[in-house]
Amino acid sequence: MLDESIQELAAGALQRIAMAGTAEELEAVRVEVLGRKGGALAEISKGMGKLSPDERKRIGAVLNQAKQEIETALDARKATFEAVALAAKLDSEWLDLTVPAPGPRRGHLHPITRIQRELEDLFVSLGFAVLDGPEVEDEYHNFDALNIPADHPARDMQDTFWLSGGNLLRTHTSPVQVRGMERLKLPLRMIAPGRVFRNESVDASHEHTFYQLEGMMIDRNVSVAHLLYFMKTLLTAVFQRDVTVRLRPGYFPFVEPGFELDIQCLICGGPGCPVCKQSGWVELLPCGLVNPHVLRQSGIDPDEFGGFAFGLGLTRLVMMRYSIDDIRQLQGGDLRFLEQF
Amino acid sequence: MKFSYNWIREFVPGLTQAAGPLERLITMKTAECEGIEETGALLGNAQVVLVESVEPIAGSHNVKTQIDAGPLGKRTVVCGAPNCRAGMHAVWTPIGKKVVSGVESDGMLASASELGISRDHAGILEVDTIAGLVPDAAIEIDNKSITHRPDLWGHHGMAREVAAILGLPLTDPAKLELLPEGPAAIQVMIEDYALCPRYSALVFDNVTVGPSPLWLQYRLTSIGLNPINNIVDLTNFLMAELAQPMHAFDADLLHGDTIFVRTAKAGEHFRALNDESYTLDAANLVIADAAGPIALAGVIGGGESAISDKTTRVVLESANFQASSIRKTSAGIKLRTDASMRFEKAQDPLNTVRALARAVELLPLVSPGIRLVGGVADACGPLAAPPVIELSLAWLARKLGRTLASGEVRRILESLAFTVADMDADTFLVTVPSWRATKDVGIKDDLVEEVGRMIGYDSITPEAPLAPVAPPPANPARRMQHDVRNLFVDNGYTEVYNYSFLSEADVRAFGMDPNDHLRVLNPIAEGQELMRSSLLPGIWNNVKENLKYRDSFRIFEIGQEIHPNETGLPSEVPHLIAAVYDRKETGLFELKRMAECLLPGAQTKPAQGREYEHPARAAEIHWRGELVGRLFELHPRMMETGRAAILDVNLARIAELGEAPTKYTPIRRQPSSAFDLSVVMVNRQHAGDVRSAIAEYANPLIESTNYLWEFALPDGKKSVSYRITVGSPERTLPSEEIMAIRADIIAILRELNYELKV
């Protein structure tokens, strides 16, 4: 009789659990059936004291089983409700990820900075110091120490901006060579990238302000063969492909012999095209063995040390790398240009 | 400078290479060629014809001519030249048939200009013969690449190079034996041989001045010179041939029989051939007669003694002047002439008489009947002996990175007219020819170039240099600038480069005095006369330009501020300048965050707005106890629209201060506690002052003071809340101790007249 009422109670509870529509209804069932105080099962177990030990043991087992069944059903039903609730909550958190993220995008380094850094890293990896020199120079460092005395026609090769107070705007990065020789211990390897100035009218291919990278290596027994090897290695790294170079005579008072270095045209590879003006070669940079007068001027004994020097046109390289057709863009500050790099 | 291919070939008779391949050889071994220009192309098929008849063409200024082209028969040619008439001999070129003025014209009767002989295009050329006039090519050499080569400013010098390159013999046009002997008809007095090492001259009479023969006009025209008259043309021809500038005076217009070479007197006037008058000073060297200057030495002749139709007697000057003196004078009066360009390269004093000898040979061809009067006037100072250079072959091989047979070195040097003697088995004694000795070749390194270019640098195998393995010295300043660039780029800023020049208006717009700026003495354009002492005008301009296309953007620049010093070089101070533009919002807080990313612990201290700054939105940036920069919005007056926030940081100052050393402290094991405080402040009071007050209290148990928020209260007040975190590394603080700290802070703030809600 007790068995029956337990089973009936359990069956009823299970049915109500199955039919509960909300977590609250489910909780009501739990309290009604399993509640410690006044729960239906608790009420039944109260009357168990009157039973014989055997009967009590048996009914106890039945009671326990019913309780477990109900608890299991309650937990399962509760988990279902929770899962649904979580799903609903997550669903309500839907985000449109096609909306642009707020905040600024990454900005852009100036193209000259980019190429300059690339070259700085390359030279540092080859053991070269990166030196800085002033943009306003004295005549001594810009000209005299480089074997270009006053009234030398070579001064016409570089139209100069003269400043109040007798100084000038450096016309090349070569004066940093002189400062390097004054400062660094021998043997030395150095580059000096920087801004230079020439008094020239500005058009799509001429600027009064542009960037150069001066390089110099001074050691015992430096030869033209070393210069050739070095320039080939350097330019192969710069252009990221095998480069064929040639030297031909060029006059720069601070080197002797002096060269113009050409590279085989990277567009046509030699047969000739509009870029190389059909010659197969593109003039790239001046270089040479450091003139002994220049060494002596900086306190270096040309009988013991010699070296090579070169001047790379950074601006020109940038224009070649990105096919920039108007040099004025580089100092124009126009974001529509700068954001492309 | 332009070189006539045919002219070079006169001195290198064995030359078979065409102009194109020759140009490439010259580029690889001597000097850079800039291109080849065909000259006199029409002369190839031109011939002299008889104009048999001329008929007018109705309604046209042209005429219809019948010509007799000899073996080619008779042709009808339409001609528009005013001088076209029956019976004349003209030059006909078969350029094809074409209908002109309704008449079919076969070929063309050509002017001297069309033929390339001169610039005369007033009418067709009337001439009996054009024998010897053949098409030519002008090879243009980059002047810069022969700056060091006085000898290459004439055809004979270039011909010597060509002969050396090709291993061919060279002929010499100057025959010194033609120079007349005996006393000269004119005296020369040189005041200072340093300024004028040599002055040679000849006198001629029975001169007829008129147009030059066609061969001479053609030569000059093909290298870009303008034929004038036979005497002047010949001086130009000699200059172009031998690199020796010459000048002809009308002898009858000179005063006295002595030519003086002296410095000008201060204030002395001189009227030149170009009709310009110059006021001279002692830095200018003049050629003078008894009455005054007749030429500005080495630059230009005088107007009063110029050759004219009436000239019958000529003094022909062939002199040598100090290069730097000519250059100074030419630069001083801003007049560069073909003569001054050559003299400033340091010409060879031995060349003066060579050019006179050549003149003696050629003048009778251009002025028939001309007669020499007397011998050569030749004033000459002591001439330096040509340098002798010791050249070690082993050293030469080390410099080039290639071994060379001694015979080859000798052959190359001799082909370039160096004299080579043996000193010992390894060493040559090399004597430099006079025309290379003035400035060009003086040391053994110069000979490396001579040998290197002739063997061809492509014959040298590249070889890796042996260099010590050593890390290069660091450049922390540059490293830091690159780091700053990365920081700003990563945060959305785009790098700009601006010019180093500013205008006076730019400078004034930012409250600076133009007189505090370094000035460009020869600016390229108006508005570029001052060196920038601030990057502000540049970035301001960038903002104004870009806001035309963008509603919002971020830019920055790293560049040098240039400030003049009393003496020596100016101070160049690297600065960072960053700008945030937005149509509506201020970018000040974004830039403040950037300043704090760049300079951890930086403090922003309110400052009085400057003239160009928003008066209520300006602050100083302090770092490690020093003023390092400024943060502000540009004054709305400076902007047509929108707001521009600016951060300006002195990078040199930052580099000097350096980063604080990194110090590790163990992570605290003891829990910290926090309490919040809300302070009532008047609206314009700075929230940061509360923080400073708490910082001044300097209780070591305070871990941090963090601003939480603020909100407005009535009556122009606001409530600002802070969270104060306290703790100790050694122990857990009892609540009484925490409450004591809180009470201390409240007391301090009340002392400062802040109202606290507690």
Count CB-CB contacts under 10 A for residue B413. Answer: 23
Q: Among partner residues B497, B521, B569, which is closest to A138 by beta-carbon distance? A: B569
CA A215 to chain centre: 26
pLDDT tens digits for B390-448?
999 999 999 999 999 999 999 999 999 999 999 999 999 999 999 999 989 999 999 99
- CB-CB under 8 Å, A333 with B496: yes
* CA–CA separation, B106 and B74 (whole Å): 10
End-to-end alpha-carbon separation of chain B, Å? Answer: 92
Judged by a CB distance cut-off of 8 A, whether residue B10 touches chain A is: no
CA A233 to chain centre: 25
Q: Using the 8-state DSSP alphabet, how is residue A162 labeled?
A: B
pLDDT tens digits for B459-514?
999 999 988 888 999 999 999 999 999 999 999 999 999 999 999 999 999 999 99
- Cβ pair B593, B647 in contact under 8 A: no
* Residues contacting B222, CB < 8 A, separation 6+: B2, B4, B39, B40, B116, B136, B138
Single out the residue in B596, B631, B657 at which a domain terminates.
B657
Same domain as B344, residue B200: yes
Indicate whether B434 belongs to any domain. yes
Same domain as B310, residue B252: yes
Indicate whether B490 belongs to any domain. yes
Same domain as B689, residue B653: no
pLDDT tens digits for B15-69?
999 999 999 999 999 999 999 999 999 999 999 999 999 999 988 999 999 999 8
Judged by a CB distance cut-off of 8 A, whether residue B70 touches chain A is: no
Same domain as B214, residue B70: no
Judged by a CB distance cut-off of 8 A, whether residue B453 touches chain A is: yes
Q: What is the mean pLDDT of residues B656-684?
A: 90
Query: Å from B401 to nearest chain A CA?
Result: 5
Q: Using the 8-state DSSP alphabet, how is residue B368 labeled?
A: T
* Residues contacting B331, CB < 8 A, separation 6+: none
Q: Among partner residues B449, B545, B572, which is closest to A136 by beta-carbon distance? A: B572
Judged by a CB distance cut-off of 8 A, whether residue B56 touches chain A is: no
**A155 pLDDT band (50/70/90 cuts)?**
confident
- Cβ pair B238, B220 in contact under 8 A: no
* CA–CA separation, A131 and A121 (whole Å): 13
> What six digits make up the tokens of B204?
């001629």
Phi, psi of B50 (to 5 degrees): -100, 130
**A23 pLDDT band (50/70/90 cuts)?**
confident
Query: Å from B56 to nearest chain A CA?
Result: 48
Closest alpha carbon within chain B to A258: B449
Same domain as B412, residue B482: no
Q: What is the mean pLDDT of residues A252-257?
A: 94
- CB-CB under 8 Å, B458 with A246: yes
Single out the residue in B361, B380, B399 at which a domain terminates.
B380
* Residues contacting B496, CB < 8 A, separation 6+: A110, A333, A338, B538, B539, B542, B555, B556, B557
Same domain as B544, residue B437: no
* CA–CA separation, B263 and B164 (whole Å): 41
Q: Which domain holds residue B738?
A: 673-756
Counting residues of chain B whose pLDDT is more than 90, the rounded percentage is: 93
Same domain as B243, residue B306: yes
Single out the residue in B429, B459, B489 at which a domain terminates.
B459
State the CATH number of the domain containing residue B747: 3.30.70.380
Closest alpha carbon within chain A to B539: A333
Residue A88 scores a pLDDT above 70: yes
Query: Å from A162 to nearest chain B CA?
Result: 5
Region for residue B509 given its phi and psi (left: phi exceeds 0; alpha: psi -120 to 50; beta: otherwise): alpha
Complex-level ipTM? 0.88
Better-predicted residue by pLDDT, A198 or A55: A198
Judged by a CB distance cut-off of 8 A, whether residue B198 touches chain A is: no
Residue A283 scores a pLDDT above 70: yes
Same domain as B283, residue B200: yes
Any idea of the CA torsion for A317, A322, A326, A327, to the nearest 10 degrees?
-30
Q: What is the mean pLDDT of residues B315-329?
A: 96
- CB-CB under 8 Å, B553 with A154: no
Indicate whether B204 belongs to any domain. yes
- CB-CB under 8 Å, B564 with A251: no
Q: Among partner residues A135, A165, A253, which is closest to B564 by beta-carbon distance? A: A165
Average pLDDT taken over every residue of chain B: 95
> What residue spans of B344-439 are helical by DSSP H?
351-366, 393-400, 406-415, 434-437
Report the DSSP pairing between strands B552-563 and B494-495. Answer: parallel
Same domain as B707, residue B565: no
Indicate whether B402 belongs to any domain. yes
State the CATH number of the domain containing residue B18: 3.30.56.10
Q: Which residues of A touch B529 (CB under 8 A)?
A: none
Q: Which residues of B touch A107 (CB under 8 A)?
A: 488-495, 554, 556
**A44 pLDDT band (50/70/90 cuts)?**
confident
* CA–CA separation, A127 and A261 (whole Å): 23
Give the neighbor-by-neighbor strand order of the sheet with B198-205. B246-250, B314-320, B198-205, B371-380
Same domain as B534, residue B680: no
Any idea of the CA torsion for A100, A101, A102, A108, to the nearest 10 degrees?
-90
Indicate whether B285 belongs to any domain. yes
pLDDT for A1 equals: 65
Any idea of the CA torsion for A235, A240, A242, A245, to the nearest 10 degrees?
-20
pLDDT tens digits for B109-163?
999 999 999 999 999 999 999 999 999 999 999 999 999 999 999 999 999 999 9
Same domain as B630, residue B498: yes
End-to-end alpha-carbon separation of chain A, Å? Answer: 90
What are B420's strand-pairing partners? B430
The single residue listed with the structure tokens 């040099």 is A327
Same domain as B639, residue B558: yes
Number of domains in chain B: 6
> What residue spans of A107-168 are helical by DSSP H?
111-125, 139-142
